Amino acid sequence: MTEQNLATATAGANGREQLLSAASQLMTELGSIDVSLHQIARRAGLTAPLVKYHFGSKDGLLLALAERDTKGSLEQLEELMAMDLDPATKMRIHIHGIIRTYARYPYLNQLLDLLLWDQESESSRSIRMGFMRPLIEAQRKILEDGIASGQFRDVEPEFLYFLVIGTCLYIFSTRVAVHELFGETRVRKELATKYSAFAADTILRGISA
């Protein structure tokens, strides 16, 4: 393979995924999305200009990362909505799904906050339409079905949204409190799984009729 061909190959889909994966690793390790293009390129074994080639800008890379990280959850949520399960079971699976996503990408909340911040920006619109709204609508549907079937008490879907998301994400956004309470700064898989069961149980009891 000539050097030219090699460069072309690296500039392809592979380079793109390598860069996203490098950014994801760095953000997870540092517990922060404050990572430079140079660091990302170096971690991927590529060069900073390739980031511009693939994503146009750092914002472009951040948006692509957020889309990559939320894609799986959204697909699972769609599958969940189509399943023949009672609303309480769906809500439980949904809560586990959100926590699994944050456990996998602990920087995701920070990343979404940054991209959403400027409401007029294309990134913000893209995250709102592509992720936030489908999530809000799915949760509303599960809740309304549960109220109609008598499984849930009559609560406001808007309020439930803030309670569910806050419950699921806070443990992943406060290294210091995690350290105070568990002696570690990272929420390991076993802890995430236990917290997930507690969170789902507590919310389900909290909204049951």
Q: Which residues of this chain interact with its own copies, rule CB under 8 A? A: 113, 116-117, 119, 124, 128, 132-133, 136, 155-156, 158-159, 161-163, 165-171, 173-177, 179-182, 194-195, 198-199, 201-208
Return the number of the residue (20 or 160) whose C-beta is nearest its own copies: 160
DSSP characters for 122-150?
Answer: HHHHHHIIIIIHHHHHHHHHHHHHHHHHT
CA 14 – CA 5 distance, rounded (Å): 14
Q: Bridge partners of 208? A: 152
Minimum CB–partner distance for residue 129 and its own copies (Å): 10
Is residue 105 classed as helix, strand or coil in its secondary structure?
coil
Minimum CB–partner distance for residue 62 and its own copies (Å): 16
Minimum CB–partner distance for residue 89 and its own copies (Å): 17
Return the number of the residue (44 or 115) whose C-beta is nearest its own copies: 115
Minimum CB–partner distance for residue 176 and its own copies (Å): 4
Q: Is the dihedral of CA 46, 65, 34, 26 positive or negative?
A: negative
Return the number of the residue (13 or 205) whose C-beta is nearest its own copies: 205
Minimum CB–partner distance for residue 9 and its own copies (Å): 39
Burial grade of 68 (CB within 10 A; 0-12, 13-18, 19 or more): middle
Return the number of the residue (18 or 124) whose C-beta is nearest its own copies: 124
Structure tokens at 18: 């390598």
